[in-house]
Amino acid sequence: MAAYYPYAQRYPVNRRMPEKGRPRDEILAELREMATQEDDFWQTGQCSGTMYCGDMEHYAFMTEAFGMYSHVNVLQRDMCPSATRFEGEIIAMTLDMLHGSEAPEGASPCGSVTSGGTESILSAILAYREHAREHRGIDRPQMILPETAHVAFEKGGHLFGLDVVKAPVDPETTLVDVDFVKDHITDRTALLVGSACNYGYGTIDPIGELSDLAVEHGIGLHVDGCLGGWILPWGEELGFDVPVFDFRHPGVSTISADTHKYGYGPKGSSVLCFRDKELRQGLYFVQQQWSGGKYMSPGIAGSRSGGILAATWASLVSLGREGYLRYAKKIFETSYAMQDAVTSHAELKLMGKPYFCFSFRSNEFDIYHLNDFMREHGWRFNGQQHPNALHMCVTRPQTQPGVVDAFTRDLAGGVEYAKHPAQEKAKTGAVYGGLPKGDTAALQFVEGVMTQMLDAHQGVPED
């Protein structure tokens, strides 16, 4: 199979630096062409997650804010006091939304702005490891997470040398087995993890019960609100049946909440909130003796663009509480309407009790046959496994008129198709990040597009 390389037919492939620079307008035209084509794909509202705001005017506004600071390195703080203002206010607004003020007397809630959910989770794990080493003398700490927790936790265990214990979840509710967690706490346990909500099913772990365990054993509890942290609080305020998952539970010591998801900021930002600054100490890195000068950085990254902070801040203050509530209301309503369409089919089953994003499976047929049909009709869900299921994360593009009706209609068609599929084996499968258009087999997809992602680190393929 010839190596797949995107746009090779249309544009020159840069195997080496062009001898002479190209005119800016030509480059911008090329970029615009690709961006427009790629935007067309999700603007139909048929694509799960990933495009949270979907409003091109909002994107243009953030781009303008980004442009003023894109060249600024926020590590050089003396040159950009604005970065301290942006960062401080992004953290303050996030803490406020997550009830950081409920911290007990003497505690100082604080935070860190990172490049995304994964970095927030990695940073939390690093902070807990350092704390466990310094305050409890634990050389190799352990963390206990629901098996539905995001894979970034395993990545963190791998990178920072923590043992990962995975707690099973109830197959019906999809929520973590708290008794298992309780039984596996040892004197090496640095933290417990709960999700609000988990990526897979959009369900919220029993944070209150995990918090009780954390308090009882004097250990940490990280709530992964990367996906839900910037929408569930508004859902609760609007009166939807959202359980408390934040610092109002006394055992919750850190929460990650991604501003680049339902904060509607540009990609590349998330906030890691701490109940108390003592735990955050583990994230500062200081080297006084380096020949390059005394060095200090507040987190994992070194240089960072001021543009991300400026645009994220601009997103938050331009929407305000009123904007976030308005967007959340439509997203919750749309999600519940889509869930109603799913539950109207006896052949389909929702996974647990979801909120703004949901997942469904079937006991009657291979759900990937249904996915094949939906794919042909322009839908891009996320394929899941153990059990096979389809995931739909509702974002603003789905709140456009007509999308719920199209979903309801196509789902009905998909159910009928899946009962009598045109071929024995479904073409699509369980791959994070969606599947190709057309009839490319899932395996080819894995071989093609995923390896392409890895190959990109080695440059462009040979002819």
Ligand X SMILES: Cc1ncc(COP(=O)(O)O)c(C=O)c1O
- Of 353 and 377, nearer to ligand X (C-beta) is 353
Residue found under tokens 């544009």: 11
- Of 225 and 282, nearer to ligand X (C-beta) is 225
Strand pairing partners for 305? 73
Distance in Å, CB of 50 to ligand X, minimum: 9
Return d(Cα 277, Cα 44) in angstroms, integer. 44
Return d(Cα 222, Cα 251) in angstroms, integer. 9
- Of 116 and 220, nearer to ligand X (C-beta) is 116
Is-cis flag, bond preceding 168, omega within 30? no
The interface region with ligand X, picked from 136-144, 193-201, 293-301, 375-383 by CB under 6 A, is 193-201
Residue found under tokens 């005394």: 294
- Of 116 and 354, nearer to ligand X (C-beta) is 116
Identify the DSSP state of 151. Answer: T
**Number of residues lying near ligand X (CB under 6 A):** 12
Distance in Å, CB of 127 to ligand X, minimum: 16
| φ, ψ of residue 190 in degrees (nearest 5) | -95, -35
Distance in Å, CB of 388 to ligand X, minimum: 19
Return d(Cα 242, Cα 251) in angstroms, integer. 19
Contact characters 425-444, ligand X, x per CB under 6 A: --------------------
Return d(Cα 436, Cα 446) in angstroms, integer. 10
- Of 127 and 226, nearer to ligand X (C-beta) is 226
Tell me: does residue 199 bind ligand X (CB under 6 A). Answer: yes
- Please tell me the total number of residues recorded for the chain in this structure: 463
- Of 98 and 152, nearer to ligand X (C-beta) is 152
Return d(Cα 250, Cα 101) in angstroms, integer. 12
Three-state secondary structure call for residue 272: strand
Contact pick of 125, 227, 342, 348 for ligand X (by CB under 6 A):
227
- Of 121 and 138, nearer to ligand X (C-beta) is 121
Distance in Å, CB of 151 to ligand X, minimum: 8
Residue found under tokens 């953030």: 62
- Of 188, 205, 208, nearest in space to 197 by CA: 205
- Of 118 and 395, nearer to ligand X (C-beta) is 118
Strand pairing partners for 164? 143
Please count the CA atoms within 13 angstroms of the CA of 283 that sit on its side-chain side.
26
Contact pick of 224, 246, 372, 410 for ligand X (by CB under 6 A):
224
- Of 138 and 152, nearer to ligand X (C-beta) is 152
Return d(Cα 195, Cα 197) in angstroms, integer. 5
The interface region with ligand X, picked from 83-91, 170-178, 219-227, 322-330 by CB under 6 A, is 219-227
Return d(Cα 174, Cα 359) in angstroms, integer. 11
- Of 52 and 379, nearer to ligand X (C-beta) is 52
Return d(Cα 414, Cα 404) in angstroms, integer. 15
Distance in Å, CB of 22 to ligand X, minimum: 33
* Residues 6 or more apart in contact with residue 200 via CB below 8 angstroms: 148, 174, 351, 359, 384, 389, 391
The interface region with ligand X, picked from 24-32, 195-203, 402-410, 444-452 by CB under 6 A, is 195-203
Distance in Å, CB of 261 to ligand X, minimum: 7
Contact characters 375-414, ligand X, x per CB under 6 A: ----------------------------------------
Contact pick of 226, 231, 404, 431 for ligand X (by CB under 6 A):
226
Return d(Cα 234, Cα 324) in angstroms, integer. 7
Distance in Å, CB of 447 to ligand X, minimum: 23
For residues 104-163, which are near ligand X according to CB under 6 A?
A: 116-118, 150, 152
Return d(Cα 89, Cα 395) in angstroms, integer. 25
Strands 142-146 and 163-167: parallel
- Of 198 and 399, nearer to ligand X (C-beta) is 198
Distance in Å, CB of 49 to ligand X, minimum: 7
Contact pick of 198, 253, 305, 335 for ligand X (by CB under 6 A):
198
The interface region with ligand X, picked from 29-37, 87-95, 192-200, 246-254 by CB under 6 A, is 192-200
- Of 149 and 314, nearer to ligand X (C-beta) is 149
Distance in Å, CB of 62 to ligand X, minimum: 17
Range list of β-strands (E), 149-204: 163-167, 189-195
Residues 337 and 180: beta-carbon distance below 8 Å: no
For residues 253-282, which are near ligand X according to CB under 6 A?
A: 258
Residue showing the smallest CB distance to ligand X in the complex: 117
Instruction: Look up residue 59 and give its two tokens.
Output: 């994107």
Binding site for ligand X (CB under 6 A): 116-118, 150, 152, 195, 198-199, 224, 226-227, 258
